[in-house]
Amino acid sequence: MVLDGKFGGMNVKIAVNRFNKTVEFGAIDSVPNDATGDYDEKFKAVYTVHCALYNRSFMQNYQLLGTELQDTIVLAIRSDSRINRKLIARFNSHDYKIIDVSKDSTEMPVAYDLVTLKLIEKEG
């Protein structure tokens, strides 16, 4: 089975069996560290959804060189109005900033969104 979607005028087809990964959406929370008496930042998941890694073509990757989107990944998820750019995404044990959420414009009963993520670089 293949899911059809229309994103910004571009038709996208993703096989259902590719939705075999999960992504967590949440926020960074400060939690007390009993050992140091200080606070540590920790990811706190609010939502977990199944996703598929969306593969860009070579030409799409080439067009993104030198832009804010150069080092990003794109995940396809079932449309969810709770997902927005204020959240942090955790995918494959890495934290990502949400750069964009492209909503499916087909108005089908089952819609899918493309979520563009950029890795959050750890300091220190």
Q: Which tokens is 32 given?
A: 């007390």
What pTM does this model have? 0.80
What tens digit of pLDDT does each residue of 79-121 get?
Answer: 888 999 999 999 999 999 999 998 887 777 778 899 999 999 8
Sign of CA dihedral 75, 17, 5, 110: negative
Q: Which tokens is 107 given?
A: 């108005």
What is d(CA 20, CA 40) in angstroms, rounded to the nearest whole number? 32
Give the mean pLDDT of 38-53. 91
DSSP code, position 81: T
What is d(CA 112, CA 92) in angstroms, rounded to the nearest whole number? 20
Comparing 69 with 21, the larger pLDDT belongs to 21
- Average pLDDT in the chain: 83
The 3-state DSSP class for residue 104 equals coil
Q: Residue 6 — very low, low, confident or very high, per pLDDT cuts 50/70/90?
A: very low
